[in-house]
C-alpha cells in the first residue's frame, strides 16, 4: 500500500507508519516536515487494518486487531490517543471488532474486547458507537465467561458501566 508524502517521496504505508510511530515526523529522504501529512497517514493506516480485519485470515486479523488496540491506547501516530480513537471510529472499525468478538476465535475475542475497552476510554462518541454496533451483549458474555469483570472495571470503567449498569 504505497503512500506519497507532500514532498513527493513514496513509501510503503507500513514503513512510513513505523517511522512515524517512533516519533520521526520528517521525511526519511529529504527530512521535510510531515506533521500536516499525519492525519492522512493515520486514516490510510487504519483503513488498511480494517481490510485485514475483514480478510478471514486469522493471523492477519490478529495483527490488525492488535494494531488497532495499540493505536486506541496510546499516541503512536497522533499527538494524543483521542485523535487515534476518533480516527478508528470514523474509519468504521468498531463494527468489525464487534464481529470478531462475536464470531472470532478465542485469541481474536480477547484482542477485540481489549480494543473496544481502549476505544471506550474517555471517549463518549466511541462509547455510543460501541453500543450502536451491538457490542454490549457480546462483551458481557465474553467478560463473564473469561472472568474479566475486575480487570475491565480497572482498565475501562466507562465500558464496564455500559456493559454492567448499576454494578
pLDDT digits over 55-103, tens only? 889 899 998 898 888 878 765 544 456 777 888 898 889 999 999 988 8
Euclidean distance between CA atoms 14 and 64, whole angstroms: 12
Helix (H, G, I), strand (E, B), or coil: what is residue 20? helix
Q: What DSSP state is assigned to residue 35? A: G
**Residue with the three cell numbers 451491538:** 134
Euclidean distance between CA atoms 21 and 60, whole angstroms: 20
In sequence order, what are the residues at sequence separation of 6 or more whose Cβ sits closer than 8 angstroms to the Cβ of residue 107?
A: 62
Confidence of residue 129 (pLDDT cuts 50, 70, 90): very high
Asked whether 47 and 65 are in contact (CB, 8 A), the reply is no
CA angle, residues 152, 157, 158, in degrees to nearest 5 = 120
Asked whether 3 and 16 are in contact (CB, 8 A), the reply is yes
* Whole-number pLDDT of residue 75: 54
Q: Does residue 74 or residue 152 have the better pLDDT?
A: 152
Give the CA dihedral 2, 5, 9, 14, nearest 10 degrees: -40
pTM: 0.74
The upper half-sphere exposure of residue 78, i.e. CA atoms within 13 Å in the direction of its Cβ, equals 21
* Whole-number pLDDT of residue 79: 47
CA distances from 26 to 52, 88, 159 (A): 27, 23, 36
- Cell numbers found for residue 136: 454490549
Range 127-138 average pLDDT: 93
Asked whether 5 and 34 are in contact (CB, 8 A), the reply is yes
Q: With a cut of 60, say whether residue 126 has pLDDT above it.
A: yes
pLDDT, tens only, 17-41: 777 767 777 888 999 887 767 667 7
Amino acid at each position: 500500500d504505497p503512500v506519497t508524502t507532500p514532498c513527493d517521496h513514496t513509501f510503503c504505508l507500513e514503513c512510513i507508519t513505523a517511522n512515524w510511530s517512533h516519533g520521526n515526523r520528517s521525511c526519511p529522504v529529504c527530512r521535510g516536515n510531515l506533521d500536516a501529512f499525519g492525519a492522512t497517514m493515520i486514516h490510510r493506516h487504519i483503513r488498511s487494518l480494517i481490510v485485514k480485519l475483514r480478510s478471514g485470515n486469522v493471523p492477519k486479523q490478529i495483527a490488525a486487531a492488535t494494531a488497532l488496540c495499540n493505536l486506541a491506547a496510546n499516541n503512536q501516530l497522533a499527538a494524543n490517543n483521542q485523535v487515534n480513537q476518533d480516527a478508528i471510529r470514523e474509519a468504521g472499525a468498531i463494527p468489525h471488532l464487534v464481529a470478531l468478538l462475536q464470531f472470532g476465535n478465542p485469541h481474536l475475542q480477547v484482542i477485540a474486547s481489549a480494543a473496544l475497552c481502549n476505544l471506550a476510554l474517555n471517549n463518549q462518541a466511541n462509547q455510543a458507537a460501541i453500543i450502536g454496533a451491538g457490542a454490549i451483549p457480546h462483551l458481557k458474555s465474553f467478560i463473564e465467561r473469561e472472568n474479566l469483570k475486575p480487570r475491565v472495571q480497572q482498565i475501562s470503567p466507562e465500558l464496564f458501566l455500559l456493559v454492567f449498569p448499576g454494578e
